[in-house]
């Protein structure tokens, strides 16, 4: 069995210049904060009550949509359950905290502009939003985040005058695991603070500027950061002793002052880190290195940080996840348009008809759940399936020797499945959710799957924030960004070459791996 794993502890990225507008179909079932709750987004009216009503009303796995606007906020907002907060564009969609607002002026009692999720929440996802904590709010936190699994992607968090406690805060009890991608944080004492411990935190494509204490502070977490850019006069990264580990890859740290660029008191691994303006790039376990750059560093207790697998063809930089340009929503196909094909509760004919309709994007509206009893073939012109956290279930009796989805699309252009559950109806038995049999790349984002298999000649697989088990009996390149591996036989019979960004947590599955 060839099973090469590059455990580059947590993290993922895509283009930092991406600022495309995100528009969803009107029949997707999303909650629009303007249309349904009367938020104005004009920068003048107080939109706090309207937005909180939207947050309270969204069902588990629902979507709240923020059109372009500046939404004036005068209270702490709370999203209590797993859901998606989707902005149109982080450059033009802003939650703006009132300047010098009493509840946020005490630096010793931090308050969050947005509290997202809880220790029991699943799939808390925040996309394409900006949060502005205003001026003279030294107690302000941009996002206080906690969830068993979640992601923040393409966001901007700022303190207008540099004051504030933290841009992203992961210090609540049992914060779980989170993937932070393509985020810029300006100001605050700490750009990111993760102090509770025991968390898997993956960060990729992070830009930090003008923090006062440390760009990122962590204690006791499995932390990895890839593609970090920091412009600061204080340490870009500080890790206190607490039983965790830190990996830093592909970082540019510039600034100055008397500090080292990195201060770390936990096991530490670094690859391709450069610094300028600092007297040294690293102080590790009390010892200061006489270097300004780190090409490949593993110091004291470095054996506790998973290294790249020696000799693996996937050592070094991974292939970046392919980006698929979005279609005009007028060209998307809603699976409900083919509901007349449902036979005896089996939605497979409807899904197949939607895939074969000639449209390039298929979507399932929010809170959509269905069962299928025969294999659906992903083929033809379709290039993206957007699940919007919907769920497709299959009975193990129907899929004992066949997959629920057979991915056979021709060509070498990438295809993607996003925000989708494909699982067994039986919590004690698994099914093959996907069988990969196409020559081109397959991208999985924010998906929960039972088991993934592959066929000869299949192309590379890219995963971002995915939960699954794997039985890959044929050669394949795998690039995994924030992977949650199902318990026991999570990765078996693997002939694939793996590049895993992060130390995959082993989860107790809703459906156990195949026996």
> pLDDT for 389-408, tens place per residue?
999 999 999 999 899 999 99
Task: For residues 450 and 510, give the distance between their C-alpha atoms in angstroms, rounded to a whole number.
Answer: 8
Q: b vs e for 324-339, b when ≥16 Cβ sit within 10 Å of the residue's Cβ?
A: beeeeeeebbbbeebe
CA distances from 97 to 47, 69, 72, 264 (A): 10, 14, 6, 33
Work out the end-to-end distance of the chain between its first and last CA atoms, rounded to an integer number of angstroms.
19
Distances (CA, A) of 268 to 170, 284, 299, 390, 482: 20, 8, 7, 39, 19
What's the rounded Cα separation, in Å, for the pair 96 and 43? 8
CA 138 to chain centre: 28
Average pLDDT over residues 474-498: 80
Q: Can you give the pLDDT at residue 122?
A: 72
Summarize the confidence of residues 2-26 as an average pLDDT.
Answer: 51
What is the residue extent of each domain of the chain? Answer: 31-304, 329-507
Handedness of CA 286, 187, 253, 267 (dihedral sign): positive
The more confidently predicted of residues 192 and 197 is 192
Backbone angles phi, psi at 415, to 5 degrees: -125, 155
Spatial contact of 420 and 392, defined as CB atoms under 8 Å apart? yes
What pLDDT band is residue 1 in, cutting at 50, 70 and 90? very low
At residue 409, the pLDDT reads: 85
Whether the Cβ atoms of residue 384 and residue 362 lie closer than 8 Å to each other: yes
Q: Which residue has the higher pLDDT, 345 or 291?
A: 345
Band (378; pLDDT cuts 50, 70, 90) = very high
pLDDT score recorded for residue 505: 53
- Nearest 5 degrees, angle CA 40-CA 132-CA 262? 160
Give the model confidence (pLDDT) of 202-222 as tens digits: 899 999 999 999 999 999 988
pLDDT at residue 14 is higher than 70: no
Mean pLDDT throughout 412-423?
95
In the numeric block, the tokens 């947050």 are attached to 55
* Residue 16, both tokens: 């930092």
Output the six-digit token pair for 501. Answer: 């960004």
pTM of the model: 0.90
How high is the pLDDT of residue 4? 30
Which whole number is the average pLDDT over 239-265?
91
Give CATH superfamily name and number for 31-304: Single-stranded right-handed beta-helix, Pectin lyase-like (2.160.20.10)
Structure confidence at residue 290 (pLDDT):
84
What percentage of the chain has pLDDT greater than the value 90? 69
pLDDT at 328 over 60: yes
The whole-angstrom separation of Cα 300 and Cα 383 is 47
According to DSSP, the residues that pair with 156 across neighbouring strands are 130, 184
* CA pair distance 107, 130, nearest whole angstrom: 22
The DSSP secondary-structure symbol of 504 reads: P
Mean pLDDT lowest among 152-156, 426-430, 507-511:
507-511
CATH architecture of 329-507: 3 Solenoid (2.160)
Average pLDDT over residues 446-456: 94
If you ran DSSP here, which 8-state letter would residue 4 be given?
Answer: B
pLDDT (tens digit, 9 = 90+) per residue, 142-175?
Answer: 999 987 778 999 999 999 999 999 999 998 866 5
Confidence of residue 301 (pLDDT cuts 50, 70, 90): low
What is the structure's pLDDT at 511?
Answer: 35
Name which residue leads in pLDDT, 49 or 484.
49
Please give the Cα distance from 290 to 70 (Å, whole number).
47
Fold: same for 31-304 and 329-507: yes
How far apart are alpha carbons 12 and 443 in whole angstroms?
13
**What's the rounded Cα separation, in Å, for the pair 313 and 319?**
12
pLDDT at res. 401: 87
Q: pLDDT at position 487, please?
A: 59
């Amino acid at each position: 069995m060839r099973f090469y794993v590059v455990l580059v502890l947590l993290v993922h990225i895509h283009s930092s210049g991406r600022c495309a507008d995100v528009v969803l179909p009107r029949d997707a079932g999303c909650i629009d904060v303007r249309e349904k709750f009367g938020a104005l987004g004009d920068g003048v009216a107080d939109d706090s009550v309207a937005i909180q009503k939207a947050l309270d009303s969204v069902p588990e796995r629902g979507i709240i949509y923020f059109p372009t606007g500046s939404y004036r906020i005068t209270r702490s907002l709370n999203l209590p359950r797993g859901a998606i907060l989707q902005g149109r564009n982080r450059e033009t969609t802003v939650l703006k905290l009132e300047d010098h607002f009493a509840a946020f002026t005490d630096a010793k009692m931090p308050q969050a502009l947005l509290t997202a999720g809880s220790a029991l929440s699943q799939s808390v996802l925040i996309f394409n939003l900006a949060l502005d904590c205003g001026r003279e709010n030294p107690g302000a936190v941009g996002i206080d985040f906690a969830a068993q699994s979640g992601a923040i992607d393409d966001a901007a968090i700022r303190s207008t005058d540099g004051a504030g406690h933290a841009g992203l805060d992961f210090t609540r009890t049992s914060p779980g695991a989170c993937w932070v991608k393509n985020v810029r944080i300006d100001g605050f004492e700490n750009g990111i603070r993760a102090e509770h411990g025991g968390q898997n935190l993956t960060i990729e494509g992070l830009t930090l500027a003008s923090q006062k204490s440390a760009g990122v502070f962590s204690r006791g977490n499995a932390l990895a950061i890839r593609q970090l850019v920091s412009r600061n006069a204080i340490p870009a990264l500080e890790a206190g002793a607490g039983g965790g580990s830190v990996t830093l890859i592909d970082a540019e740290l510039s600034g100055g002052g008397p500090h080292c660029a990195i201060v770390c008191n936990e096991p530490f691994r670094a690859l391709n880190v450069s610094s300028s303006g600092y007297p040294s790039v690293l102080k590790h376990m009390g010892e200061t290195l006489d270097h300004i750059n780190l090409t490949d560093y593993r110091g004291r207790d470095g054996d506790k940080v998973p290294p790249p697998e020696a000799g693996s063809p996937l050592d070094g930089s991974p292939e970046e996840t392919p980006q698929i340009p979005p279609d005009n929503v007028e060209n998307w196909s809603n699976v409900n348009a083919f509901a007349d094909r449902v036979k005896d509760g089996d939605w497979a004919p409807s899904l197949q008809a939607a895939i074969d309709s000639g449209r390039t994007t298929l979507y399932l509206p929010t809170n959509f759940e269905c069962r299928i009893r025969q294999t659906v073939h992903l083929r033809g012109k379709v290039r993206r399936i957007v699940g919007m956290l919907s769920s497709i279930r299959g009975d193990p009796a129907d899929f004992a020797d066949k997959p629920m989805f057979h991915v056979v699309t021709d060509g070498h252009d990438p295809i993607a499945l996003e925000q989708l559950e494909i699982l067994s109806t039986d919590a004690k038995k698994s099914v093959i959710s996907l069988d990969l049999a196409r020559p081109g790349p397959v991208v999985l984002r924010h998906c929960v799957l039972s088991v993934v298999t592959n066929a000869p000649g299949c192309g590379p697989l890219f995963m971002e924030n995915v939960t699954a088990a794997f039985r890959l009996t044929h050669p394949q390149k795998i690039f995994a960004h924030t992977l949650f591996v199902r318990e026991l036989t999570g990765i078996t019979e693997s002939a694939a070459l793996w590049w895993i960004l992060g130390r995959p947590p082993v989860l107790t599955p809703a459906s156990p791996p195949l026996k």
